[in-house]
Every structure is written in C-alpha cells, then in structure tokens.
Amino acid sequence: MVKELVELSKKLGMLHREVWQYHDLEAFEKLETSALELLVNLGFEQQRATGAAEHIKQAYICADTAADAMKAENTVLEQRMYEEAADHLKRARTLLHLEAEGGVYEAKWWHAF
C-alpha cells in the first residue's frame, strides 16, 4: 500500500511539473493532456476531467495574455484577462465538484506573481 502511494505521488508530481513546463514552452495542447492525466490520476471521472483540463488550458492562455498586456501597460486588458482566467478556473473546479472560489484565489496568485 505504501509503495503504491509513493508511486502515485511521484506520478502526480511529474504531471504537475509537466503542466508548468508545457506552460513555459507554450505547448498548450500538451499542457491540457498532462492536466487531464493528473486529474484522472487524482480520481476524477474522465468526462469531467476532460472539461476541466480544457478550462485549465484556457486559464493559462488568458494569464499569458494578461502578462503581455501588463508589459504593454494595458491595465484594462490585463485585468479582463485575469478575470477570464479566474472564470475558467472556477468552471474547472465546478466540473470537478470543488469549491469554485478556489479558482479566483489561484488567478489572484498568478496576477500577484
């Protein structure tokens, strides 16, 4: 039992790393695939995880657009894109039957970062 938990922890950690890595590489389709696999391995139902992974991908794309807007000093677009990112994360969490507001906190963290 302990060995299986250790292996699952390693797998989840690697998938989480892949999500960040694919984000850095702007390989959003691969990010979505890794997010889906991560969610399924966490025990979420395939169909719900598929929808959530799509929203996660879209949230990362919105956050990147927001970061570009910040660099261009377009605060209106920056704020709107972070709001869209938060909305996507809320939708992902809702699909997974998690508290939706966690998505807002995540997007605020991205904005602060």
Residues 6+ apart with CB under 8 A from 85: 59, 60, 62, 63, 66, 107, 110
pLDDT tens, residue by residue, 16-45: 999 999 999 999 999 999 999 999 999 999
Structural domain that includes position 18: 2-112
CB–CB of 56/35 below 8 Å? yes
pLDDT range class, residue 1, cuts 50, 70, 90: confident
Q: Could you give the CA distance from residue 16 to residue 4 in angstroms, rounded to a whole number?
A: 18
Domain count across the chain: 1
Give backbone dihedrals phi and psi of 37, rounded to 5 degrees, phi first. -60, -40
Q: Tell me the whole-structure pTM to 2 decimals.
A: 0.92
Q: In the numeric block, which tokens belong to residue 45?
A: 């139902």
